[in-house]
Amino acid sequence: MRLAVVDQLVAGGGAGRLLARLVPALRDHPGVETLTLVVPADRTAFLSEHGVDLGSVDLRILDGPSVRRNPGGIRGLRRLLDGAEAVLAGRLPDPADRRRQRRHAQIARAIADADVALFNWPFDLDPFTAPARRFAVIHDLNYLHWFGAWAIEPEQLPRWEGSLRAFAATASAVCGTRFIADEIHDHLGVPPERIHVVTWSTFARPDRVDRARIPAVAASYGLDRPYLMWAGNPLAHKNLGQVAAAFARLRAAGHDVDLVVTGIPSFLSGVARNGFVARATAGERPDVHALGFIPGPDVDTLIAGAEILVAPSLYEAGSGPALDAWALGTPVAMSDIPPFRDQLAALGTTAAMFDPCDATHLTAVLGDLLADPERRARMAAASQAAVDAHSWSDVADRLVPVLEGTGT
């Protein structure tokens, strides 16, 4: 099979990290004759940093910066600066529709000789008429739900929804849990026979974590006591506010632990409920370490050293941080929501479950785990063994027959 993998975003979160693990696994699979990787020029460094050997694939570079979901904030400022630079250089800024058309043509040329084209988040793409069979990795549909704030700006919703719905009408869908498969069917109208659930493996790289260095890495971030860990982005459904409330109660109850928060840059700290991260960033909460974005190897090392990884989301396709924690030998406490239950059942992992809307329940669950190190050790060992038995090679073994049309 001649396979093309297309990602016009290569976002820095779960979708981008999944791409970085999936591409090498597919490249090495005996069913894949050639692998063409189609990505923006400004995201090749991200893939290299996450372990993708770009010299081992047929790399096709898309012109211009990666497409982003949201036009506001820092991203909007960047676009304004790009336009100003073009004017100063004597050029007119490239209109968005022309840029979109040019990128679409580049992708069409890149996949022209492929038997199969796999699109990792086909946002803002028109359906393609190329002969390649088309598959779309649809990670989640969080933009459909209200969590006290929208996952994307409301003015962007018609464009996001329209492009995804049009693309899904001509492609098969791949997703990580049965919960998301049901959402794809119910909302996008994709028939069940064109929806394929593939359980992903961990995004972490346990082989790169030197456990002997965990204390030194922790100390480099000011950590000198046991700590809980939360990793995510500032979107409302990540539910950091409940962790903040539960952590305050744990401290008041005498639990001598700190809290590590990664993934929220300091300039966005005000989005956290009650200014929790903002206060930590300002040094007002010495027991809370708001680290912002830190290198991937350090994130893995800190997860490996945590007492518990807390995954409190209100909605997800599955928990990437929990997957990483399981692979790194760290026990997990996670929301009792359908996609997380799907993930646990598919992998055979274990977690302490809690009501994500009840900080009192979360406090009790975390307190019980902290008071029982033997239980934590059993949970960690069982889950690590389960994830070890589900490698990215296993993921490729499941996905390649689906792409070839011989799997379900």
Identify whether residues 74 and 147 lie together within a single domain: yes
What pLDDT does 281 receive?
Answer: 56
Q: Which of 335, 320, 341, 288 is nearest to 387 (CA)?
A: 320
pLDDT in tens, 129-180: 778 899 999 999 988 888 877 777 777 778 778 888 888 888 999 999 999 9
| Percent with pLDDT over 90 in the chain | 64
Bridge pairing between strands 2-6 and 116-120: parallel
Identify whether residues 213 and 327 lie together within a single domain: yes
Domain harbouring 216, CATH code: 3.40.50.2000
pLDDT in tens, 361-402: 999 999 999 999 999 999 999 999 999 999 999 999 999 999
Angle between helices 320-327 and 296-305 (to 10 degrees): 70
Identify whether residues 183 and 70 lie together within a single domain: yes
Examine the pLDDT at 226 and tell me if it is beyond 60. yes
Q: Residues 247, 365: contact at Cβ < 8 Å? A: no
Q: Which residue has the tokens 């336009």?
A: 83
Examine the pLDDT at 341 and tell me if it is beyond 60. yes
Q: Where does the pLDDT of residue 273 fall: very low under 50, low under 70, confident under 90, or very high at 90 and above?
A: very low
Examine the pLDDT at 408 and tell me if it is beyond 80. no
Q: Which pTM does this prediction carry?
A: 0.88
The better pLDDT of the pair 70, 94 is held by: 94
Q: Where does the pLDDT of residue 85 fall: very low under 50, low under 70, confident under 90, or very high at 90 and above?
A: low
Q: Residues 322, 334: contact at Cβ < 8 Å? A: yes
What pLDDT does 38 receive?
Answer: 95
Identify whether residues 144 and 265 lie together within a single domain: no
DSSP 123-190: TT-PPP-SSSEEEEE----GGG--SSS-SS-GGGHHHHHHHHHHHHTTSEEEESSHHHHHHIIIII--
Identify whether residues 143 and 221 lie together within a single domain: no
Identify whether residues 289 and 210 lie together within a single domain: yes
The better pLDDT of the pair 150, 236 is held by: 236
| Sequence-distant (≥ 6) Cβ neighbours of residue 294 within 8 angstroms | 221, 262, 302
Residues spanned by the domain of 68: 2-201+392-404
Identify whether residues 159 and 237 lie together within a single domain: no
What pLDDT does 61 receive?
Answer: 93
Identify whether residues 286 and 363 lie together within a single domain: yes
Q: Residues 158, 76: contact at Cβ < 8 Å? A: no
Q: Which of 116, 103, 131, 112 is nearest to 39 (CA)?
A: 103
Identify whether residues 189 and 272 lie together within a single domain: no
Identify whether residues 290 and 344 lie together within a single domain: yes
For range 201-225, the mean pLDDT: 94
Total domains in the fold of the chain: 2
Identify whether residues 121 and 170 lie together within a single domain: yes
pLDDT in tens, 354-365: 999 999 999 999
Identify whether residues 14 and 92 lie together within a single domain: yes
